Homo-oligomer: A and B are copies of this chain.
Amino acid sequence: MVLTYIYIVAITAEGMSGALAAGRRNMDMFGVGLIAFVTALGGGTVRDMLLGHYPVSWTQHPAYIYLTISAGLCTMLVARYMRHLYKIFLVLDAMGLIAFTVIGCNVALELKYSTPVVIMAGMITGIFGGILRDILCQRVPVVLRHELYASVSMLVAMLYLLLIELGVDADITMLAAFGFGLALRLAAIRWSWSLPVFSYSPGRWE
C-alpha cells in the first residue's frame, strides 16, 4: 500500500531530523542512533501505550528499528551537505507528519475509540516523536512554538475522519488528506503562518 511506502520515507526523514538535533548536543554515535529511533518511532509508541495497543508497532517490525538507527548514523556522514537538500527535507517531513497522523487515526479507529480520541491519537502519532526528541535534547518542543505544525496534524485528522464519515472512497480520502495537509504545511512555512503566541511574564506568583 502506498501509505506504507510513505511511512518508510517518513521515518527515515524523522530519524535524520533526530540525528541533527543530537548533533547539536554533541552526542556520541549511540546517542545519535537512539534519538533517531525515538524521533521516528516515539510518536507511535506513545500512541500505542496510551491506547493499550499491544504489542507496540515497532516491536513487530525489526526492520524499522534498523532503518531509523541507520538513517541517524548516515546523517552523521552527510550532515554537511544537508543544507542543500533542506527544501526536499521539509517536504518529506510534511509528508511524514500527514502519514503519521493518518496511521494514528486508523489505529484508534480499529480500537473503536470515540472521535475526539481518534483525533488525539492522530496528533500524538504525528507530533510526539518530535516532542520526545526535544525533551531528550533539552529544548522547548519546537512543534509547540513555530509555524503551523501540530495544527496541520489536527486539521488533517479532522478532514480524514470527515471524509470517512461521508463514505468517500478510500483512495480519494487519502489523496485529499495528503493534498490538503501538504499544501497547508508548505504554505505555512513559505509565508510563516503561525498561531497567536501566548507570552506571559509571571509576577509574584506563577
Contact = CB atoms under 8 A, between A and B. Distances in A.
Nearest to A38: B131
Interface stretch (A1-9, A16-24, A163-171): A16-24
Copies of this chain in its oligomeric complex: 3
A184 to B, nearest CB: 14
A143 B137 CA distance: 13
A159 B143 CA distance: 40
Interface residues of A, number: 69
23 contacts: A23-B199, A25-B145, A28-B195, A28-B198, A29-B196, A29-B197, A30-B151, A30-B195, A31-B141, A45-B50, A49-B49, A50-B56, A52-B55, A62-B117, A76-B196, A76-B198, A83-B203, A135-B135, A135-B136, A136-B140, A136-B144, A137-B140, A138-B139
Interface of A: 19-32, 34-35, 45, 49-52, 54-56, 59, 62, 65-66, 76, 79, 83, 86, 89-90, 113-117, 120, 131, 135-146, 150-151, 154, 194-206
